[in-house]
Structure 1
Amino acid sequence: MKINKISAAAISLGLFAGAAQAQSSVTLYGVVDAGFLYNNNVKGGSLYGLSSATSSRWGLLGSEDLGGGLKAIFDLENGFTLGTGALGQGGLEFGRKAYVGLSSATWGTLTAGRQYSASNDATSSFASGADWAASGLGYGTRAADVDNVDTSNRIQNAVKYTSPNVAGFTLGVLYSFGNVAGNFGQNAVKDVGLAYANGPLKLGASYEFTNRPYYATFGNQGNSSTSGTGTNNNMPSRIYGGYASAGSQQIVTAGGSYALGPVTLGVLYSNTQFQNLGKIAAGGSYGTVYNGGTATFNSGELNVKYALSPALTLAAAYIYTHNSGAGGYDSAHYNQVNLGATYLVTKRTSLYADAFYEAASGTDSTGKAAVANFSGSTYSSTSHAVAAIVGVTHRF
């Protein structure tokens, strides 16, 4: 018995030593942002209040060396509202990211869970609204972030593969399971993105197809048919909130950027289609008002960033979005201008000031006269709106 105890202890020590040799790490990271927001028209009234240009968050990023160049990885990221301390993304504990997977410099990365789309990985850096123009607030996106470049809708129940960089090219492929018994394709998302980087030149293109988007990706929690259809942060958007009954949604995006010394020029185009309108029953703030057809949004953006000094960057963007209309309703047009300035106090702390102007015309998704409707905000009572935010961001 004494020998057995000694042997067991030796084995335990051996296992412990082996585990100790495996290289592993867990990193705590995050962003804390507070700004003062002004919006001149929220349902007819001016809004003053505390908000955030960059989404406040904290996360745990981990990896463990499994040998042979293979690593186990995970990322758990929580979003929260700084002013109230409330959980973001509809109250989900890790609503921004929650995935685990395997990564290899030779074979690429395979992850499973709630995560950003491959489309976002390939094209978001070319959009001012996902880069410097108050990405957390959402005001700087193309009309209501209709193409999801600013990730108003994250992808859950998803498996994603990202290839290693080969001659500057990176490929991402994602499939999101609808988790509906007896119907494998219901509420599913198919997504692919291709990116290229070579010195000052960056390019990206993507394709995403969603079955029954109201149930699959709209709102924050997915598969829950939330009343926040067509929204960012569960606030109804008249720009496309009326298309909740779409049987499917297709998004094609392409863009690029080029750096010329201190100046970076960016361009982005997207085509978003809400197909088979009225095919499914959907509630939401506007209900079902269509009995067939497809509503198509074409959106284009030009933007520029100028590093006036190592600390100070100035930026501007112009965005035009056209909704073709559907079901016999007229089309709608949206013009937007974003202006911004960022000053780096230190590598982790920055000051910012952003301003936005949006003008709308025609007939929106609800069948009413189009009004200005910044993403992440309640709609204006008129065809135009102005907003601005100044604040501080700290990263850790």
Structure 2
Amino acid sequence: MKYKKIVCAVGIVWFSHAAYADSYIQSTLSTLPQFNTALLNNGISLYGVADVGINYQSVGGKTLWQTQSGGVHTSQFGFFGREDLGGGLKAEFNLESGFELNNGSLQTSQTIFDRESWVGLSSTTWGALRVGRQTTANLPEFADPFGEVVTNSVVTWLAGGAVQTRRGIGYNADLGPGSSQVLVRESNAVSWTTPRVGGFGATFLYAFNGTQGVSPYASNQGVVASWTNASLYLATAYNQVWSAPVATASGKQTVRNDIYGVAAIYDVGTFVLSAAFNQVAPNLAGNGIARSYMLGGTLPFGPHALRASIVYRDTSGVRDSAGRPAKDSALGVMLGYDYNLSKRTGLYTRAGFIRNYGISSVILNGTPLPTQPGSTAPEQGTTPLTVSLGMYHKF
């Protein structure tokens, strides 16, 4: 399973839907060159982020020290282009690549532009149409104070359902065959984002699976609708995600996952509070259901910022390896501190853990859980922990 690297791609939608000068999230995103709307009117711009830190991890009595890329922002570079066609219509494209700053490798093997690869049209009257690899129609990533990075975020791993089983690590793999999750990005996708009217707006997305003979044609179809004023942002999302063909009691088939979510962000500049709920319900008899609940907060003061999030994941209908109903839940906590040396450069520290209960086996920060002696099954009741200290620079 390939985890999608996650950071600020939601910023473009956030800007179109909540551009208020007193917003802390707005001011933070505006320091990222790709989201600075004044960056260009015609032409092509290069942008990126370089982020690396020293990371410590511990789980099941085993420890790991390493350098790690992307503690706050995924290390990335990209090209954004825009041409004013007149009459409020603009042609746009975005090519964006993630990389590992600690060793220089591509984030996704043999894929240069793994984060964004699309072309489209935008209009002040009709909204924005995009075709290609792009972010999905889901809840805003900044409901999580840590931006759902793939390293230091319990929301990414716990609410995302990164579960380790005998067969490896998969999205919500404890729920049964074909269980999945909304990916951060989808290839072969077409999306339309409406203009915002009276505070309301929406994004619709349809992604083709691109595989001959596999029904249905979609891999994901979803919609996220939101409303915002000067300080409050409310969003709700519904996605249908189809798995690759898997073996079930009825034979090999794709499984549709119905995924619902709601989020609220209260941002007055001097502090940010957020809450979110997400439910994953595979449409297959015998599979379980997962629900996650998140609370978060950010307290900026001068060049400093304190961050915290707490996530609880619970399930129903889950069974153990012997087919018996089992308890399967987990609690995650992440704390953080940022010190901004400038608008483009900052230092950070992060610390967090996930406490697994019952048969739960959610991982944190990409490190697999230890396995039971003589088995590929993960140890139960583990508490993976991660601590990071790092630096980033935006260009």
TM-score by length of 2: 0.74
Q: Which residue of 2 aligns with 1:78?
A: 97
Aligned match for 2:65, one of 44, 48, 52: 48
Aligned match for 1:140, one of 151, 154, 177: 154
Aligned match for 2:46, one of 3, 10, 28: 28
- Any conservation in 1 of the 2:96–2:115 contact (CA below 8 Å)? yes
Q: Does 1:247 align with 2:261?
A: no
The residue type paired with residue 379 of structure 1 is: L
Q: Which residue of 2 aligns with 1:12?
A: none
Q: Does 1:395 align with 2:394?
A: yes
Q: Which residue of 1 aligns with 2:202?
A: 171
Distance in 2 between the 1:168 and 1:30 partners?
31
Distance 1:245 1:272, change over 3 A: farther
The residue type paired with residue 340 of structure 1 is: G
Q: Which residue of 1 aligns with 2:142?
A: 125
Distance in 1 between the 2:111 and 2:118 partners?
14
- Any conservation in 2 of the 1:123–1:205 contact (CA below 8 Å)? no
Distance in 2 between the 1:245 and 1:274 partners?
13
The residue type paired with residue 298 of structure 1 is: R
The residue type paired with residue 333 of structure 1 is: S
Distance in 2 between the 1:248 and 1:377 partners?
28
- Any conservation in 2 of the 1:32–1:56 contact (CA below 8 Å)? yes
Aligned match for 1:105, one of 124, 130, 154: 124
Q: Which residue of 2 aligns with 1:293?
A: 286
| CA offsets 1:307-354 (integer angstroms, 9 cap, x no match) | 1x2210101111100122435441311101110011110000011111
Q: Which residue of 2 aligns with 1:180?
A: 211
Runs of 4+ in 1 over 3 A off after TM superposition: 142-145, 150-153, 180-184, 325-329
Larger radius of gyration: 1
Distance in 1 between the 2:295 and 2:62 partners?
31
For the residue of structure 1 that corresponds to 2:142, the secondary structure is helix
- Any conservation in 2 of the 1:171–1:192 contact (CA below 8 Å)? yes
Shift of 1:261: 5.4
For the residue of structure 2 that corresponds to 1:128, the secondary structure is coil
Distance in 2 between the 1:123 and 1:104 partners?
22
Shift of 1:123: 2.7
- Any conservation in 2 of the 1:305–1:313 contact (CA below 8 Å)? yes
Aligned match for 1:201, one of 232, 249, 266: 232
For the residue of structure 1 that corresponds to 2:125, the secondary structure is coil
RMSD of aligned Cα (Å): 2.4
Distance in 1 between the 2:94 and 2:84 partners?
15
- Any conservation in 2 of the 1:246–1:274 contact (CA below 8 Å)? no
- Any conservation in 1 of the 2:136–2:184 contact (CA below 8 Å)? no
Distance in 1 between the 2:269 and 2:114 partners?
38
Aligned match for 1:161, one of 187, 192, 197: 192
- Any conservation in 1 of the 2:158–2:313 contact (CA below 8 Å)? no
The 5 A counterparts of 1:340-355 are 340-355=336-351
Distance 1:145 1:27, change over 3 A: farther
Distance in 2 between the 1:349 and 1:266 partners?
25
| Equivalences, count | 317
- Any conservation in 1 of the 2:224–2:238 contact (CA below 8 Å)? yes
- Any conservation in 1 of the 2:351–2:385 contact (CA below 8 Å)? yes
- Any conservation in 1 of the 2:98–2:106 contact (CA below 8 Å)? yes
Q: Which residue of 2 aligns with 1:229?
A: none
- Any conservation in 1 of the 2:147–2:153 contact (CA below 8 Å)? no
Structure 1 gaps of 5+ residues are 1-22, 216-224, 226-243, 277-291, 364-369
The residue type paired with residue 83 of structure 1 is: N
Q: More relative contact order in 1 or in 2 (CA 8 Å, sep 6+)?
A: 2
Distance in 1 between the 2:231 and 2:342 partners?
25
For the residue of structure 1 that corresponds to 2:74, the secondary structure is coil
Q: Which residue of 2 aligns with 1:362?
A: 358
For the residue of structure 2 that corresponds to 1:256, the secondary structure is strand
Q: Which residue of 2 aligns with 1:6?
A: none
For the residue of structure 2 that corresponds to 1:130, the secondary structure is coil
- Any conservation in 2 of the 1:275–1:293 contact (CA below 8 Å)? no
Q: Which residue of 1 aligns with 2:222?
A: 191
- Any conservation in 2 of the 1:62–1:73 contact (CA below 8 Å)? yes
Distance in 2 between the 1:173 and 1:332 partners?
33
What's the % identity of the aligned pairs?
A: 29
Distance 1:44 1:153, change over 3 A: farther
Q: Does 1:320 align with 2:338?
A: no
| CA offsets 1:8-29 (integer angstroms, 9 cap, x no match) | xxxxxxxxxxxxxxx6210100
For the residue of structure 1 that corresponds to 2:147, the secondary structure is helix
Structure 2 gaps of 5+ residues are 1-40, 162-170, 172-180, 247-251, 371-378
Distance in 1 between the 2:48 and 2:241 partners?
30
Q: Which residue of 1 aligns with 2:56?
A: 38
- Any conservation in 2 of the 1:139–1:376 contact (CA below 8 Å)? no
